[in-house]
């Protein structure tokens, strides 16, 4: 039994999960301490309010509000859980985008721009094809696939300049981010897609539901009544599984990882390094843009077209999602859901207590920062395991030497 447990904990996947869980736990504890300290030193919160804040940090997703006497109530919150899965969908796709590039030795900080390109393409197609002539499910598929193609082409640009001219992909990605932001703004500025129906919504693009196009619910709306969840989360999970299979069970995945481990050695072995670098960034771009498409093709979300003011945070949040999962596509599913849970908990903390929105941002920032230490923690776990294995061997060798010494003395 002990041997089975030892062999189980020696697996790389188990080490990765343990490292991520430790990072999450430490982040939550630090966040809870920050909430408690802020609360006890603020007159409007006090010790009782601080304790409520700590409880929300750890279990806010299950908070159902307050009862008649003002006490926090707990239970199954269908809206919170459903909205969490809805917000997790683009985070999972952005995390997959970053993790695929990481596996090839590239840092895809261009996910926000790729996300915007997927958003623009999917919205333009979903709203421009007349639904009275083409079935809405066909329009949805065309819009989703076109968004992935647009993101792949946009992601391939920094991949191309990296492979051919050896220009750092981070610099290229930053430039393509802002080009995408202004390109999307220029495209939607004054277009027929701007909302002219609802007063005060002139800066927003129509929801795809205006054309009858919306992601199917797949029965999730019955499980999570009143929430925004739809079949997009199922699509994201399926894509994550496919990415895992591609990276670990196919020749293409082996070649991509070989280029990431050592580009020159891979080239010497006959692997086309330039092609794989471009292909890796293209795949990453397609995944990030798919996140934007899944979010805005839902039929219940609005896109504010003045994107030049800031890049979408979802694209950048794909970085900590990938780091927390240690670039494992299956792990990205859970880390994406966890990051979405933090967002929901933050809103619960703001709505149900006297804490303002800034403290929630601090908590999320601390956990995101600690997610970068997941790799360090994994290395530490591996070192401890090696020391634990090496110590019995050293003790046994020492006992053997002592026995031989005693035998010689007896002779």
Q: Which domains does the chain have, with CATH numbers?
A: 1-76+354-392 (no CATH), 89-340 (1.10.3470)
> If you average pLDDT over every residue of the chain, what do you get?
85
CA distances from 98 to 103, 272, 349 (A): 9, 22, 30
Helix axes 251-261, 273-296, angle to 10 degrees: 110
Task: Tell me the per-residue pLDDT of 233-246, one tens digit each, with 9 for 90 and over.
Answer: 999 999 999 999 99
Among 165, 166, 163, 120, residue whose Cα is nearest residue 143: 120
Burial string for 29-42 (b: 16+ CB within 10 Å, else e) reads ebbbebbbebbeee
Contact by Cβ (8 Å): 232, 299: no
Contact by Cβ (8 Å): 346, 364: yes
In this prediction the pTM is: 0.87
**pLDDT score at 262:** 84
**pLDDT score at 207:** 93
Q: Which pair of tokens denotes residue 275?
A: 């092609």
Among 177, 176, 123, residue whose Cα is nearest residue 146: 123
Please say if the pLDDT value at position 277 is more than 70. yes
CB atoms near residue 293 (< 10 Å): 34
**pLDDT score at 76:** 87
Distance between CA atoms of 277 and 257, rounded to whole angstroms? 10
Please say if the pLDDT value at position 289 is more than 60. yes
Contact by Cβ (8 Å): 259, 125: no
**pLDDT score at 70:** 81
Bigger pLDDT: 291 or 226?
Answer: 291
**pLDDT score at 162:** 93
**pLDDT score at 121:** 96
Provide the sign of the torsion angle of the four alpha carbons 128, 131, 133, 138, taken in this order. positive
Distance between CA atoms of 92 and 232, rounded to whole angstroms? 11
Residues 263-288 have a mean pLDDT of 91
Task: Tell me the per-residue pLDDT of 191-213, one tens digit each, with 9 for 90 and over.
Answer: 888 888 887 677 889 999 999 99
**pLDDT score at 407:** 59
Residues above pLDDT 70, as percent of the chain: 83
Please say if the pLDDT value at position 18 is more than 80. no
Most confident of 36-50, 161-175, 345-359: 161-175
Strand partners, 66: 72
């Amino acid at each position: 039994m002990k041997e089975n447990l030892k062999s189980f904990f020696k697996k790389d996947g188990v080490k990765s999960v343990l490292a991520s869980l430790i990072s999450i736990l430490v982040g939550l504890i630090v966040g809870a301490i920050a909430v408690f300290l802020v609360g006890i030193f603020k007159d409007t919160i006090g010790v009782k309010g601080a304790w409520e804040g700590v409880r929300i940090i750890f279990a806010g997703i299950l908070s159902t509000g307050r009862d008649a006497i003002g006490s926090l109530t707990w239970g199954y919150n269908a809206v919170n859980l459903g909205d969490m899965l809805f917000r997790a969908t683009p985070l999972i796709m952005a995390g997959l985008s970053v993790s695929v590039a990481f596996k090839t030795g590239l840092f895809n900080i261009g996910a926000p721009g790729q996300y915007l390109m997927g958003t623009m393409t999917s919205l333009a197609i979903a709203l421009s094809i007349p639904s009275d002539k083409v079935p809405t499910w066909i329009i949805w598929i065309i819009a989703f696939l076109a968004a992935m193609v647009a993101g792949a082409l946009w992601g391939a640009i920094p991949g191309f300049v990296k492979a051919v001219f050896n220009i750092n992909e981070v610099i290229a990605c930053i430039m393509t981010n802002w080009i995408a932001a202004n390109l999307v703004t220029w495209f939607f500025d004054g277009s027929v897609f701007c909302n002219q129906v609802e007063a005060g919504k002139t800066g927003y693009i129509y929801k795809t539901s205006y054309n009858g196009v919306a992601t199917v619910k797949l029965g999730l709306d019955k499980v999570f009544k009143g929430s925004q969840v739809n079949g997009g989360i199922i699509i994201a999970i399926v894509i994550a599984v496919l990415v895992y299979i591609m990276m670990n069970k196919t020749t293409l995945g082996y070649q991509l990882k070989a280029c990431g481990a050592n580009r020159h050695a891979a080239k010497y072995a006959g692997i086309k390094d330039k092609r794989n670098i471009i292909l890796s960034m293209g795949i990453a771009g397609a995944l990030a843009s798919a996140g934007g498409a899944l979010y805005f093709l839902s039929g219940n979300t609005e896109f504010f077209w003045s994107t030049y003011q800031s890049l979408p945070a979802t694209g950048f949040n794909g970085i900590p999602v990938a780091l927390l999962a240690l670039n494992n596509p299956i792990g990205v599913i859970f880390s994406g859901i966890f990051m979405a849970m933090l967002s929901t908990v933050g809103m619960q903390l703001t709505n149900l207590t006297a804490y303002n929105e800034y403290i929630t941002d601090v908590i999320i920032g601390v956990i995101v920062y600690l997610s970068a230490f997941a790799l360090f923690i994994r290395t530490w776990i591996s070192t401890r395991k090696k020391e634990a294995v090496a110590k019995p061997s050293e003790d046994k060798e020492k006992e053997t030497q002592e026995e031989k010494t005693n035998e010689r003395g007896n002779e």
